[in-house]
Amino acid sequence: MCLALTVNSADPRFQPDLSTTYQPVKCDINCNCDKKEAQCTYERRYAEMSSSSGVLGEDVLSFGNESELVPQRAVFGCENIETGDLYSQRADGIMGLGRGRLSVMDQLVDKGVISDSFSLCYGGMGVGGGAMVLGSIKSPPDMVFTHSDPFRSPYYNIELKEIHVAGKPLKLNSKIFDGKHGTVLDSGTTYAYLPKDAFHAFKDAVTRKVNFLKQIHGLDPNYQDICFSGAGRDVTQLSKVFPQVDMVFTKGQKFSLSPENYLFPHTKVSGAYCLGIFANGDSTTLLGGIVTRNTLVTYDRANDKIGFWKTNCSELWKRLNDSNAPPPVPSAFDGRNTSVEISPSIAPSGLPDTIIPGSLNELHPYRK
């Protein structure tokens, strides 16, 4: 029997024996095999030391009452054991959106029920809601695209060349963002991680701009979080205190980040915020979910590009149809079309020094 073992699960445990449409995936040369059960197994370990393991099964996958997608048969990992954050978080399991035979995306594309594109839109700081769109949508005219090379690495990468803080470029060689796996966009990672030189340049540039704020310690004394107090509790006003940050891509396209895209609130000091961007011992630049808060991110796999559009993810459908909509402010989620509601949350720091994406091959977590 496959059980979702999460302690605070949002939904009941899945019991294959009670499903009339469930079928185990029998062993073949393409999978790890439990010879006793003659069934394919899986095991995945992730960068923050959590893990998931179990067997492969096939059943009918439903996309919710508000989705235009009709239920489809799909292969998935039926989890028996999980550890770390996967065990303690409220979200149930992991959804595979990466490139790979068992990715939900690849299975649906192969069936011809969606085009080879998907989009994610996460709610803002302290606000749930958002959307996941399977298949293509009409891109907003001011969406900023960058090339994503599927042969560069197995992960979704972008061509980041510069980072600007308050309009000034960090004094770095652009090749710093092209090490190892390049610049990887991974919604399954909570924070962002820059090569050490880039991180120190970024930290110093932000710190200089907010030198009127008091630097304080973070929540965990074992980690040297960079935190500032005195910024105020109103997150909609943070742009008046903290500088704008711009990501500049290969052809000079520029995408601007708000303070909520690189800060998280200090939970013990009111009006205090900490940098949600850290140094990576690895040469890979890893941009996690914090960077795409209140941003529609379109993974156009058919055309090898990724697009960014700053918006209010809680009002995505309204704003997609209203080019004159006001700037994003927190509000309730309104999802329809082919979307699935998601409510990511941001975790405390404490990840290993070397962070590489581990979630985009076939199984894709968004961790607390």
- Domain segments of the chain as ranges: 16-93, 117-320
What is the C-alpha to C-alpha distance for residues 305 and 172, in angstroms, rounded to an integer? Answer: 25
Q: Comparing 246 with 51, which gets the higher pLDDT? A: 246
Nearest to 339 by CA among 319, 313, 321: 313
Contact status, residue 56 vs residue 43, Cβ threshold 8 Å? no
- What's the rounded Cα separation, in Å, for the pair 7 and 119? 29
* Per-residue buried b or exposed e for 100-115, using 16+ beta carbons within 10 Å of the residue's own CB: bebbbbbbbbeeeebe
Evaluate whether 303 touches 150 at the Cβ level (below 8 Å). no
Structure tokens belonging to residue 45: 């370990």
Query: Thinking of the domain 117-320, which architecture would CATH place it in?
Result: Beta Barrel (2.40)
Tokens at 135, concatenated? 């298949």
Average pLDDT, the chain: 83
Residue 321 has pLDDT above 80, yes or no: no
| pLDDT, greater one: 2 or 122 | 122
What confidence tens digit (pLDDT) does each residue in 11-60 have? Answer: 788 889 999 999 999 998 888 998 888 999 999 887 667 888 999 999 99
- pLDDT for 8 equals 64
